[in-house]
Amino acid sequence: MLLMTLVLAAGPMNTKPIEDELLKKFGEAQRARVERGVRQTAALWRKEDGDLAAFARDNFLTEQKELDDTFARFEANFEQLDGHLLEIGRELQKATALDVGPLLKVDPYFAEYDPGAHLTEDLFRNKLGFVVLLNFPLTTLEQRLAAKDWSRQQWAEARLAGRFARRVPAEVQQAITTASAGASLYIDAYNVWMHHVLAEKGERLFPSGMRLISHWNLRDELKAQYADKDGLARQRIIIKVMERIVTQTIPAAVIDNPTVDWNPFTNTVVAAAEGTIEADAPKKPAAPSTKPEPDVRYKKLQANWAAQKKADPYSPTAPTAIDRAFSLGAEMPEARVKELLEAVLASPLVPKIAAEIEKKVGRKLEPADLWFNGFLPRGSIAEKDLDAKVRAKYPNAQAFAKDIPRILQGLGFPADRAKYLSERILVDPSRGAGHALQAARRGDFPHLRTRVEKDGMNYKGYNIAVHELGHNVEQVFSLYDVDHTLLAGVPNTAFTEAIAFVFQAKDLELLGVGKPDAEAERLRVLNDFWMTWEIASVALVDIEVWHWMYDHPKATPAQLRDATVEISKKIWNKYCAPVLGGKDTPLLGIYSHMISYPMYLFNYPLGHLIAFQIEEQVKKTGKIGPEIERMSKLGAVTPDAWMVHASGEPVSAGPLLRATEAALKK
């Protein structure tokens, strides 16, 4: 049995009389469990929940058999509850997700409805959540990380209690949702009309009608310019636009407004000439003013923080949004995540890759080359030939479903396991590009959603379907073959993505058109390293800005803006400037995620590291199938425990760095 070393928020309630009563009834031997259970329960108990003493008296369990049976009942019933709720949601979304005929007006409403949205609060209200907290241990991340000798049941108990680690009041949850929706809305409407953004000397370099959303479209357009020999001038404009967005010196009048021309270098604004204004321009007054927005970007970010902060008192094991992102979300300590990011950022391989990029672009590198994408291998087989081949093979979704056992055997699964898996993966024709939908109860099956055009599947659709199949295989093993359904799944999404990428990389081979050549493989590795390096730097900015907000609770949005600019510059100067120049650019503050989806960015570089680690392990044995089966059956333990089981060492930057080093040598 785990002993609780947590100090729970004392709260207004004095729990001592209840503890004394239970000790008198059950004896000194139960002291640790009594103190832990009563305090865990009291921390989240509200006045309207009634008489805590009576509840504790009636529900505190001491007999091991009764505890075990109660645990088993929770496990079995939660599998049913979660599994059926998931199925209801899946059925209600069927019309919008699947290619099954015209949409009705009501369909989006059904798709938005989440039957499990209030489940945790319901379970607290009817006391099931409190039965768990009274009898099973809540754990801190430190305890889970130190849990080398935990039994599988102890892991499952930690997951059971973990479901009830937080009880955020509805009004606080609503405030979080409102702040987050407000930030998303701000970002979603943040467009720049590029025809009206001028180069340094006033030239118009972008075509009419080009409307780019910050920052994704701006970044993608910057990447696309590598294919144009005159692209650099356009990239420099985009960089200047991004810098002005971060510093909030962009004139308010130019946001989503093609009726003014803007020179981001001189920051001057003039009315656009009549003939240059796009017909589909949103109706806006063409006031050519350089007045900036009143720090709205940072107001939105601060509002997100303020709302998250309101949830702090209701999460005793992870009392800040930063703690929750690392302890409950990633389940890795912040210091370790930063160490992994820095291992990539400060790697001595960076200048060597930069030298390769310099050779490719034929000039000294600039800040825009943070997003260099010229490593991407060009396929040796024309896409239209691949399309024809895929179309002939898979005229409809069912043809792909029928071929799954062969595909799986091609990935090294023995025939019986291939059959077992294919019987548990259902294939649907989707409206979207493709998706793997898990199941949460045995008896229900994961679904593979794949897009098939009228004349059959194309290569892009097939490539995605093989990726999704990787998710589905993980989903089958981590539900049907895991020993405790409370441990179903993987530690976090990076793990299932990594497995999906291992499958996806084999798509050509499985199609019977040979392997990617060694040069393509080498370039893929260099490209992945550069993407990891880029996003690792941005992730550090995100984390540091959140610390700053917690350290300066009374700051104004303008102060938050200045702090973000300073943090962005500092991280740029430390890691990026040595190879890309541009000392003191605030560029790293540009990610929209920082504003609308904060404290998530670090998951992306971690995902790349995990993918390389799984890939390296699979390569060691050469058998994808059996290795993925062995890894997936462990279920949702912590990332490090999962990776030690999978590869012999905790999550590490080693495999990415080794693969990159080897690629540079070739």
Binding site for Zn ion (CB under 5 A): 497, 500
Q: Which is nearer to Zn ion, 354 or 500 (CB)?
A: 500
| Cβ-based nearer residue to Zn ion, 298 or 495 | 495
**CB of 350 or CB of 500, closer to Zn ion:** 500
Nearest to Zn ion of 499, 588 (CB atom): 499
CB of 220 to Zn ion, least distance (A): 19
As measured in angstroms, the least distance from the Cβ of 529 to Zn ion is 20
Sign of the Cα torsion 490, 491, 493, 499 reads negative
Q: How far apart are CA 302 and CA 296, in angstroms?
A: 10
Q: In Å, how far from its chain's centre is CA 15?
A: 39
Shortest CB 334 distance to Zn ion, Å: 26
Alpha helices by DSSP H, listed for 256-365, are: 296-310, 321-323, 334-345, 349-361
The nearest distance, CB 330 to Zn ion, in angstroms, is: 18
Contact present, 290 and 269 (Cβ < 8 Å): yes
User: Which CB sits closer to Zn ion, 82 or 497?
Assistant: 497
The candidate with the shortest Cα–Cα distance to 637, out of 537, 495, 504, is: 495
Give dist(CA 58, CA 39) in Å, integer.
16
Q: What are phi and psi of 197, to 5 degrees?
A: -105, 120
* Residue (305 or 503) nearer to Zn ion, CB: 503
What residues form DSSP beta bridges with 428? 449
Q: Closest approach of Cβ 326 to Zn ion, in Å?
A: 23
Q: How far is the CB of 361 from Zn ion (least distance, A)?
A: 31
Minimum CB separation from Zn ion for residue 504, in Å? 8
Strand partners, 262: 197, 269
Q: Please report how close the Cβ of residue 383 comes to Zn ion at its closest, in angstroms.
A: 21
Which helix (H) or strand (E) is 448 found in, with range?
strand 447-450
Considering the complex, what minimum distance in angstroms separates the CB of residue 574 from Zn ion? 32
Q: Least Å distance between CB 86 and Zn ion?
A: 18
- CA gap 646, 639 in Å, rounded: 10
Element (H, E) at 89: helix 64-92
Place of tokens 């993987």: 490
In the complex, the smallest distance separating the C-beta of residue 533 from Zn ion, rounded to whole angstroms, is 22
Q: Which residue is nearest to Zn ion (CB)?
A: 500
Q: How far apart are CA 53 and CA 58, in angstroms?
A: 9
In the numeric block, the tokens 């080897």 are attached to 662
- Grouping H, G, I as helix, E, B as strand and the rest as coil, residue 577 is helix
550/600 with CB nearer Zn ion: 600
Instruction: Tell me whether residue 301 or residue 500 sits nearer to Zn ion (CB atom).
Output: 500
**Is the CB of 354 or the CB of 614 nearer to Zn ion?**
614
Q: Which is nearer to Zn ion, 183 or 610 (CB)?
A: 610
User: Rounded to an integer, what distance in angstroms lies between the CA atom of residue 259 and that of residue 287?
Assistant: 9
Could you tell me the smallest distance in angstroms from the CB atom of residue 497 to Zn ion?
A: 5
Q: How far is the CB of 467 from Zn ion (least distance, A)?
A: 6
Q: By C-beta, is 19 or 497 nearer to Zn ion?
A: 497
The nearer residue to Zn ion, 131 or 407, going by C-beta atoms, is: 407
Query: Per residue in 309-338, is it b (16+ CB within 10 Å) or e — as a string?
Result: bbbbebbbbbebbbbbbbbebbbbbbebbb
Half-sphere CA count of 209, side-chain side, radius 13 A: 2
The single-letter DSSP state of residue 30 is: G
Nearer to Zn ion, 302 or 472 (CB): 472
> For residues 503 and 579, is the Cβ–Cβ distance under 8 A?
no
Distance (Å, whole) CA 564 – CA 556: 12
Which among 3, 638, 8, 5 is positioned nearest to 315, based on CA atoms?
A: 8
Residue 528 zone, left/alpha/beta (φ > 0; ψ -120 to 50; rest): alpha
Do residues 593 and 325 make contact, with C-beta atoms less than 8 angstroms apart? no
Q: Among positive and negative, which fits the CA dihedral 150, 153, 159, 165?
A: negative
N- to C-terminal Cα separation, the chain: 53
